[in-house]
Structures are given as structure tokens and as C-alpha cells.
Amino acid sequence: MGIITIDGRKVEFTDEKNLLTIIRKAGIDIPTLCYHSELSTFGACRLCTVEDDRGRTFASCSEEPRDGMVIYTNTGKLKRYRKLIIELLLAAHCRDCTTCVKSGDCNLQTLAHRFGVTSVRYNNYREQKPIDFSSPSIVRDPNKCILCGNCVRVCNELQGVGALDFAFRGSEAMVMPAFDKEIAKTDCVNCGQCQIFCPTGAISIRHNREAVWEALADPDTRVIAQVAPAVRVAVGGAFGLPKGKSVMGKIVNVLHRMGFDEVYDTAFSADLTIVEESAEFLDRLKNGGKLPLLTSCCPAWVKFVGEQFPDYRENVSTCRSPQGMMSAVTKEYFRNPENSQGKKTVMVSFMPCTAKKMEAKRPNSFTNGEQDTDYVITTTEFIDMIRMTGIDFAELEPESSDIPFGFGSGGGVIFGVTGGVTEAVIRHLVPGHDKATLESIAECGVRGDDEDGLIREFSVPYGGTELNICVVSGLANARKVMEQVQSGEKNYHLIEVMACRRGCIMGGGQPRLAGDRTKAARKEGIYRADNVAVIKKCDENPMVMSLYEGFLKGKEHELLHNHEFCSS
Ligand code: FES
């Protein structure tokens, strides 16, 4: 422990890794563009610079705290310095702020307002580069890049992909994929984490909002929405409601008001996923099939394993993701003329994930030549759509999702957090529906999200066998696990992987700038939604069971499984 004097006040510190963290804990919001607590320190933007009692200035993000330090965070010199840095960044930046897709959500713009940068004295002489629209998930605009390196580090350090890097030097420096390839032609897994960490509009979500508005305006089209579990805990915060609170009822209401004919819950198809994936797992276990079974819900992970560990393609579950199952089943239901009433069906899925946009276009996401999911709207796009309508979201009364596909179990809802798929599978496999059984499953090692909990290993007894399970989130962690499996160091029966750390609640399509409290609130919101769910297990869901008895009979394989492995 030590003491640092910050702006004349004594502040205690213990094991904080840098000065910046201590200053922030003291309630001072030091500006940063290139610092993120989950990434290595880069020290490029210099906005976090502070001054000591001898007038020396240094970047607080890369300064180790020392007992007895005396520092100042807001001197006249620092204010001028920060303003100049922002002005210089803007000088080399495309300035179409009013029409930029990240307008209102851009850290550079926010800082320019905060530091009173109202004009830029320098011209931008940088050659305008083409915008990369090759990806179905993200758009890369090099003209808005400020070289903070966040995207490079997140792709490399957290996701273990390394699709982006710095090229050239000095004033020529740029961030780009190797050999300046289009991003879609690289190993990019479409997870969208780069756009979450990008402080400007240099990387943004590929939007599909206009196409959805057009479909909604067509009276001959039945527009159906499905809403993924993680979306419901990330929308409310944007409208002044408590962060992490599940607002599914309000979401259903607003979608109805927007003109959606049906609103379904992806937790319903998550229940279908559990029925199918559990059956597939038991079949592999009993009949000597390929193990470990690798989960297939996360398209970024599926692309990653397909490209980085091709020998394990057959280990990936053949189950379609909940999005894929819901879309295939719904489209099939409305193929029946009695149900369609002559209308065309358009499926719009509301997802926390940018990779779902890629999944929707994968060759195995088509049934009878028709794309199952027509459009994927991320949570961020959805919030913009609600704002566009002017509807007072916070004041909306909750409404119920529509039948027959609007009712999911608590097990389906917890798909939104890392470990949720596995926990739902265990609930399905273990007999007993009572509270004590569910609590003992929750405590078997499947939950937890601290730094060490991003890779979790545990065993569950089943039918005389100890099932070895690994739950992992973040692709760099998944790479570690797969390398251990490959070398024979580890042996698992089941591995659940979510590409984004902590699972879909922190997906690349969720609202940006989620701090530790928001992360925790989203996770709690998911578990609370499970707690209040009337049913907890997929096999208790009467809608799921009647579907198997009804029109799904004989079509389970066709509609619920992938018939070939496709990674993109
Ligand atoms: Fe410290 Fe950028 S945040 S140098």
C-alpha cells in the first residue's frame, strides 16, 4: 500500500497496475483514447498525461504508481496540451461528424466537445482511402482511424486472430489487414470486438436498418422479429432504465408498434438447441462419436475453429444456432398457406452479435434455397431504430411475445452468458426439476466471470461417467484450450466456446463502453430473468414439446441441423 497526492488530496493505493487507474478511482475522469483495462498498454495518444510537482509530464496509463508521488491532473499546461492533441487528431481525421455512423457514440467527438475544440487550424492532407464494405458484419473506414491500435490489440490479444496490424511508418502509418486485403478475405471472424474498442467511426457495424424499415412498410410482407436473450439486458440502459434490467416486455411492445407482425423469443429456439444438442452429445458418447463435442451457437467461434483447427470440424455440433433454428422453423411454419395468408415472410433477428450477420449468409443458413434469416439487427442498431421512432421506450407497458414461438425457458435465456449453453444442457440431462437440483447445477463450476473464470473446467457425473467439461469465452482463451486438447494435455467431453469474453452479453453488437458495473449488471439481469422464468428447462416447455409432436415431426434433421460444415 502507498499514498499518492493527486491534485492536493491524499489517495491510498494497493496493487493498481498504473497511475491512471488510481486517478480514476479517485473520481477524476482522465481522458484516454488508447487505454483499455483489458488490453496491453500502448501509450500512444498521450491524452492521459499528468504533471508532477517538478513540472514533468508523463502518460499516466504507462506510469507505475509509487508511494509519495505528487501529481496534478488538470493544470493549465495539461488542458492546453490535451486540446492540441485533439485538434491534431481531428486535423488528420475525416470530419463528416454529422453523418458519421458513430456520431454521438464517438470518443474523439466527445473529447472535442469536452475540451472545447470548436475549430481546427490545420488542413487534412492525407490521401482519402477507400472504405472497406467487404464484410457483412463491420465496415472499416481508414480515413477515421486515429492509430490508437485498440483494434489491433483486441484482435490479437483477446481474440487471438490478428486480422489487423500496423503498416508503414511515421505519417504514412496505417492500420490494415495483411497486404491491405479486404477484411472479408482475412481470418476475421466477424466478432465485432474491434468496433467495440474503436473510439471513432474507423470500424463500425454494417447496418441493415433501412432494409428492415422497407420490409415493415410493405403491406404484403409479414415481418417477424426474434429477440436474443442478451439483447433484453442491454437496451434499457440506453433509455434511462437501470443497466442490465431485462426489458423483454417493453421490447415486444416497441417492436409491435414499429409494425412487426410477430415477435418471438430466441430463448424458445435455444430450448430446441438444447434438446437437439443434448441428444447429439449422448449419441456421440454412447456410440463412440467425435468428442469433445464443440458447441456451434457462436458463429465467430465456428469460423475460428474451422479455419484455425480444421481437424476438429467434425467435433463441432451439427446443431444450427438458436437464430438459425428459429428462422428455419418459422419460415417453414409460414410456408403453409393457411398460416401465411398469402404474405411473404421476412425474418429479422435482433442479436447482440455482429457475427450473426455473417452466419445468416452462410450457405448452410438456407432452406430450400431461401435465406432463413433475412436481416440481423444488432442491439446498437435496434436502439437507434427505437430512437428514430421517438417512442418513449422507458414508459412502455410490457407485452408478451407471440405464440407459437414466443415462449422460452430460463435455460434458454441463460444462453446470453458464458456457460449458459452448458448449464442448460446439464439441466436437461440431470433428472429433477426442484430448486435444490437447479442450485447444485449452478454451483457445479459452470458459472463465474472473473478474469480467471474465462476458462472454466469442471466435472459432472452422468450415467456412471464423469463428464469433463470446459467453458471458455474469448477466442484467445479458446485457442489455448484447443492447443491443449490437440496436444493431449487436456481431455474433455464437451467444450462450450463463446467468442466474446463473458459471452453474448458482451457481444460485438452490444452498446459500447460497458464498464465493469455494466458487465456485472448484464450478467445479473440474465440470471434474474432465469430466476423469474415460469419454467427452467427445455423439456418443460409445452410449446417446444408440441412443436416436436406437430409440424416439426420428421423435419427435425432438415430444419434444426446443419448438413455440411460451413465456417463462413
Ligand atoms: Fe495513456 Fe493513450 S491513454 S497514452
Confidence at residue 284, expressed as pLDDT on a 0 to 100 scale: 97
Q: Distance of CA 501 to CAs 38, 119, 311, 458, 514, Å?
A: 10, 39, 24, 19, 13
Residues 235 and 317 in one domain: yes
Share of the chain above pLDDT 90, in %: 87
Domain with residue 193: its CATH number is: 3.30.70.20
Is 565 inside any structural domain?
Answer: no
Ligand 1 touching residue 43 (CB < 6 A):
yes
pLDDT of the residue at 566 = 83
* 176 and 281, same domain (yes or no): no
| Distance in angstroms (rounded) separating the CA atoms of residues 242 and 168 | 45
- Is the CB of residue 148 below 6 angstroms from any atom belonging to ligand 1? no
What digits encode the pLDDT tens for the residues 196-237?
999 999 999 999 999 999 999 999 999 999 999 999 999 999
Residue 567 domain-assigned (yes or no): no
Which candidate, 507, 513, 514, 512, places its Cα nearest to that of 352?
507
Instruction: Report the pLDDT value the prediction gives residue 94, as an integer from 0 to 100.
Output: 84
pLDDT score at 178: 87
Q: Are residues 197 and 228 in the same domain?
A: no
Asked if residue 223 and residue 101 are part of one domain, the reply reads no
Number of domains in the chain: 3
Summarised one tens digit per residue, pLDDT across range 516-554 is 899 999 999 999 999 999 899 998 999 999 999 998 999
**Is 385 found in the same domain as 440?**
yes
Same-domain check for residues 454 and 473: yes
- CA distance linking residue 552 with residue 333, whole number of Å: 9
Q: How far is the CA of 59 from the centre of ligand 1 (A)?
A: 6
More confident residue, 472 or 435: 472
pLDDT digits (tens, 9 = 90+) for 345-359: 999 999 999 999 999
- Binding site membership of 35 for ligand 1 (Cβ less than 6 Å): yes
Instruction: Provide the mean pLDDT of the chain.
Output: 94
Is it the case that residue 92 has pLDDT exceeding 90?
no
Cα 195 to chain centroid distance, Å, stands at 11
Domain presence at residue 568: no
pLDDT-derived band at 448 (thresholds 50, 70, 90) equals confident
Pairing of strands 9-13, 293-294: unpaired
Average of pLDDT values for 418-444? 90
pLDDT for 449 equals 60
Q: Which residue has the cell 488530496?
A: 9
Please confirm whether the linkage preceding 404 is cis (ω < 30° from 0).
yes
The continuous run of DSSP H or E covering 545 comes out as helix 542-549
Q: Looking at residue 95, what is its pLDDT?
A: 81
Q: Which of 93-102, 341-350, 366-375 has the lowest mean pLDDT?
A: 93-102
Please say which residue of 173, 205, 237 terminates a domain.
205
Model confidence at 191: pLDDT above 90: yes
Cα-Cα-Cα-Cα torsion 505, 455, 159, 190, nearest 10 degrees, comes to: -40
Domain with 153, as residue range(s), is 87-205
Test site for ligand 1: of 18, 22, 33, most ligand atoms within 8 A of the Cβ: 33
* pLDDT tens figures, 271-325: 999 999 999 999 999 999 999 999 999 999 999 999 999 999 999 999 999 999 9
Residues 299 and 364 both lie in one domain:
yes
158 lines ligand 1 (CB under 6 A): no
Confidence band (pLDDT; 50, 70, 90) for 513?
confident
**Digit-coded pLDDT (tens) for 34-79:** 999 899 999 999 999 999 999 999 999 999 999 999 999 999 999 9
**CATH number of the domain that residue 22 is part of:** 3.10.20.740
CB 376 near ligand 1, within 6 Å = no
8 Å CB contact between 41 and 18: yes
Question: 46: Cβ below 6 Å to ligand 1?
Answer: yes
What sign does the dihedral 359-360-362-365 (CA atoms) show?
A: positive
Residue 566 lies in a domain: no
Would you call 72 helix, strand, or coil by DSSP? strand
Q: What is the pLDDT of residue 553?
A: 93
Q: How far is the CA of 317 from the centre of ligand 1 (A)?
A: 43
CATH number where 448 lies = 3.40.50.1780
Is 423 found in the same domain as 360? Answer: yes
Nearest to 293 by CA among 303, 278, 308, 304: 278
Residues 214 and 200 in one domain: no
Tell me the pLDDT band of 452, cut-offs 50, 70 and 90. low
Contacts of 444 (CB under 8 A, 6+ apart): 426, 458, 460
Q: Is the CB of 192 under 6 A from ligand 1?
A: no
Of 155, 173, 205, which residue is a domain's last? 205
**Does any ligand 1 atom lie closer than 6 A to the CB of residue 293?**
no
pTM of the model: 0.95
Cα separations (Å) of 93 from 38, 200, 415? 26, 10, 40
The whole-number pLDDT of residue 463 equals 86
Query: Are 184 and 224 in a shared domain?
Result: no
Q: What is the pLDDT of residue 451?
A: 61
Distance 20 CA to ligand 1 centre (A): 9
